[in-house]
Amino acid sequence: MSILIDSSTRLLVQGITGRDGSFHTRQMMEYGTDVVAGVTPGKGGQTFEGSVPIFDTVAQAADRTGANASVIYVPARFAADAIFEAADAGIALIVCITEGVPVGDMTRVLPFVAERGVRLLGPNCPGAITPGVCKVGILPGQIVAPGNIGVVSRSGTLTYEVVYQLTRAGLGQSTCVGIGGDPLIGTDFVDCLRAFEADDDTVAVALMGEIGGTDEQVAAEFVRDHMTKPVVGYIAGRTAPPGRRMGHAGAIISGSEGTAGEKMKAFEECGIGVAERPADFVELIQERI
């Protein structure tokens, strides 16, 4: 099994004719993802790679192809409208890769998708991959392997590092999810942890957090109160100075709650194994499964 995406995922790509959209669409298709449509206003009637029909609107694409998921590769100023359009068309899963989406835009987007029961992943995220089955976004398919370890992270590149370590050690993954590092995102740690807990084929979870906000503390409490499966966690940014944003828009310490020390303490108190460095995930997970 898996979470979020599987063999039934029928994907449409918003921004399929752009530089990033076209490059990553080819990557997703080569991995085996069922890309059924693309959307670029004004280019309806054309095809991508001679086989994927392009439509002017998401509504047209969904109606004609039965697409149930969308991935967004459009500039930041258009990202909110792209999400609105996909949600309004009834797309069940929307993955927004775009970074730099204004926080003000997200304050309008989040209630809109929630009212429609739509799952939004991102923005500013690498997407998700179910190894050997389906890839939506930019996670590299060559470093993953099918297995039973769930992976969820705020950091894309940190995800790659940990997944590579797991794969080298023979610890394949059920699904790897990058939730994004912005202050306002559609899917958080708890959403993914809840899904992994319900997934019969996931036996343990690797969780990568970072400084800023309190999402990791909330996730730790969820693990303590609701999860039966072991979770191992890591916090990036332990040497970051207070008050300075580090990489992600959400990675900024304000007061004490956003520090790496507070998050690691919460992990320990709630029964989450704490990795001192990404390479430690292998041993800590092997001890718990």
pLDDT, tens digit (0-9, with 9 covering 90-100), for 189-214: 999 999 999 999 999 999 999 988 89
Whether residue 123 is preceded by a cis peptide bond, meaning omega within 30 degrees of 0, is: yes
Considering the entire predicted model, what is its pTM?
0.93
- Three-class SS state of 144: coil
- Name the β-bridge partners of 104: none
Domains of the chain in sequence order: 11-121 (3.40.50.720), 140-288 (3.40.50.261)
Burial letters 220-257, b for 16+ CB under 10 A, else e:
bebbeeebebbbbbbbbbeebeeeeebbbbbbbbeeee
Amino acid code (one letter) for 71: V
Burial of 218 (0-12, 13-18, 19+ CB in 10 A): middle
The two structure tokens encoding residue 65: 């192809």
For the stretch 79-137, pLDDT in tens is 999 999 999 999 999 999 999 999 999 999 999 999 999 999 999 999 999 999 999 99
Residue pair 6/30 in contact by the 8 Å Cβ criterion: no
For the stretch 31-48, pLDDT in tens is 999 999 999 999 999 999
Q: For residue 15, is pLDDT > 90?
A: yes
Catalytic positions are 248
